[in-house]
Amino acid sequence: MKVAVLYGGISPERNVSITGGLAVIKALQELGHEVVPIDPAYGANGKQSIEEIISPSNSISLEELAKFESRKIIECVNSSLFDGIDVAFIVLHGKYGEDGKIQALLELRGIPYTGSNIKASAIGIDKLASKMLFLAAGISTPQWLTVREKDFGNYEYFEEIRSELGDNLVIKPNDQGSTIGITIVEDGNLDEINKGVDLASKFSDIVIVEQFIEGREITVGIVGGEALPLIEIEPEEGFYDYEHKYTKGKTEYICPAEVTEDIAEFMQNQALSAYNIIGCSGFARADFRLDDEGQPFLLEINTIPGFTATSLVPMAAKEIGIEFPELCDRIIQLVFNKNNNHIDENEEE
């Protein structure tokens, strides 16, 4: 099969995407697929050989990102690079990759692609929209308020937020991932809230200020409509930020997470409910906080989660015997078999 692996892109998660793309390229080549590596940031010149792809060790700055043009993505998908492509494996994160835009271009070009469709992608990356759907479906999510441009720097409004949500707050952009632009405020300090809003506003027009839930960080991967084993995330210090996500040895992962069978099953069902409410397909990952009373709070659902051999979804899949190359191949097969909603139970055993 001729597979275009789309990686890189022009979001702040560009470098994470390059690392994941490289892993998928190698896995699919190992399986014998004809792989075409494509970085849409370079337009019609986006095709690279595997030898040319360098996995970055740090994040990309906003100044570096400003050098890229979004119209290059249109140019890329409309070019001869996609001639004869059977399927596109999307490993793009954030804006122009996980938000439905690249999916729309591929549909217009008639190229099948992995993961969720346009609508589910757009809703999944929009924290405000997805949290409202979670609430409507009875799925617990931390209380939140939004800050829009008219209230940037408005300390009176920040006092209202603190009064309603408490002193411990999470401030984040509405449509980013990889903890980019996120701030944890632990004492309700108004200056810290203002700094957090200012940082988040550099990445999104809408800022989410969310009640911080004390407890454990748990994630649930989903492949083909089936929830994978839970993973608990334990950063060595602080919170699970960009550095702890992508620096080896900075975080311990426990899979399966050490929770009771009832809690594990409940969290898997909550993850599947969110997956179905959003309209996801293929694969995804739901992130939770689990408080001391055993109550899970769904933070968000990622329609294109991190995807290297050591990322969370592949880690959970490995726990039930699915190695990374097989997982990549399985995700491609799901594109052509929409009725295949579950991992084969015999293979799982």
Strand partners, 226: 223
**Sign of the C-alpha dihedral computed for residues 304, 309, 315 and 318 taken in this order:** positive
Q: Determine whether 246 is an active site residue.
A: yes
Task: Give strand ranges (E) for the chain.
Answer: 2-6, 34-38, 87-90, 144-147, 169-173, 183-185, 207-211, 216-223, 226-235, 251-254, 283-290, 296-302
Distance CA 218, CA 253 (A): 10
Q: What is the DSSP letter of 59?
A: P
Q: Determine whether 311 is an active site residue.
A: no
Enter the tokens of residue 195.
């700094």
Q: Which of 302, 311, 329, 330 is catalytic?
A: 302
Q: Which of 96, 157, 246, 275 is catalytic?
A: 246
Q: Determine whether 285 is an active site residue.
A: yes
Q: Which of 39, 99, 217, 287 is catalytic?
A: 287
Q: Which of 306, 311, 329, 330 is catalytic?
A: 306
Q: Which of 178, 194, 201, 204 is catalytic?
A: 178
Q: Which SS3 state, helix, strand or coil, does residue 320 take?
A: coil
Q: Determine whether 300 is an active site residue.
A: yes
Distance CA 42, CA 47 (A): 8
Distance CA 335, CA 191 (A): 48
Q: Which of 14, 162, 216, 285 is catalytic?
A: 285
Q: Determine whether 13 is an active site residue.
A: yes
Q: Which of 9, 13, 126, 201 is catalytic?
A: 13
Q: Which of 282, 300, 311, 329 is catalytic?
A: 300
Active site residues: 13, 178, 246, 285, 287, 300, 302, 306
